[in-house]
Amino acid sequence: MPNTPSQSPRAVAVFAGGCFWCVEAVFEELEGVIDAVSGYAGGARDTANYEAVCTGTTGHAEAVQIVYDPSRIGFRKLLEVHFATHDPTTRDRQGNDVGPQYRSAIFYANDEEKRIAQEYIEELARSGAYERPIVTTLEPLTAFYEAEPYHQGYVCVNPRQGYVRAVAMPKVDKVRAKFADSLKKKSPLDR
């Protein structure tokens, strides 16, 4: 019996790589990604809000929960896209966004995800893909807290905003160029 949309397999990955607006926009471009949700991971429920997370003292990272169909895109491909669209060699920073809430992290849900991520990071390190050491952390996913509604789909809703044009769109352009064979037929940005 063929899968219908309600029966398609689903898996979840949670990545952090700077501002969640950018990370969300990148993953929304990919075929097989059902949804990408901006939020917080790494801290407690009572500090899972933008105002608290911006202090850099909550343990949270701005993160994105990626819901995907593993029969159409794999965890490994998600990792490849993630590492190609942010700088995994800067600790607690992406560009001008500075603080532990902007760290590069993979929040793994199980030992298999941890193993795959660890192997991929080791492969990148051996390849010499980066001039500096990769500092991406592997952290157990204890909880993911959805960010406030105004953060969701921010790049799609605010395509002309200065930060979006200067920081998010170059990352989207990079995924479009480097992973052209993995893109949705119609981008969420092409409304």
Active site residue 22: no
Residue 31, sorted as left (phi over 0), alpha (psi -120 to 50) or beta, turns out to be: beta
Rounded to whole angstroms, how far apart are CA atoms 189 and 25? 8
CA distances 20 to 4, 70, 185, 188, Å, are 31, 22, 23, 16
Which residues partner with 64 through β-bridges? 15, 38
**What single letter denotes the amino acid at residue 64?**
V
Angle, alpha carbons 172-64-162 (nearest 5°)? 45
Query: How far apart (Å, rounded) are the C-alpha atoms in residues 157 and 147?
Result: 16
Sign of CA dihedral 123, 125, 127, 130: positive
Which candidate, 25, 14, 49, places its Cα nearest to that of 157? Answer: 25
Looking at residue 110, the DSSP 8-state letter turns out to be: S
User: Could you give the residue numbers annotated as active site?
Assistant: 19
